[in-house]
Amino acid sequence: MHIPTCRETSALLSQTQDRKLTLFERVGLRLHLVVCNGCRQFERQLAFMRSAVKRYLERDDHPPR
């Protein structure tokens, strides 16, 4: 089992928006996140940004794209 580095983990966290990760990628990602506080924080930041953009786009008064 390959446990990804922090660099690989950040890439995988970003890729989850574009594709479904393989089982091995998901397991490795979770194992890394258990031991790495920095990557857990990055995961929370990504979730916050996705949520903020979604809320912005759902507003009635945002400018057209």
Kindly list the domain boundaries of the chain, sorted by start residue.
Answer: 6-58
Q: How far apart are CA 10 and CA 13, in angstroms?
A: 5
Residue 17 confidence (pLDDT): 87
Residue 63 confidence (pLDDT): 64
Q: What string of pLDDT tens digits covers the 65 residues of the chain?
A: 788 999 999 999 999 989 999 999 999 999 999 999 999 999 999 999 999 999 998 887 766 66
Residue 62 confidence (pLDDT): 61
Residue 34 confidence (pLDDT): 96
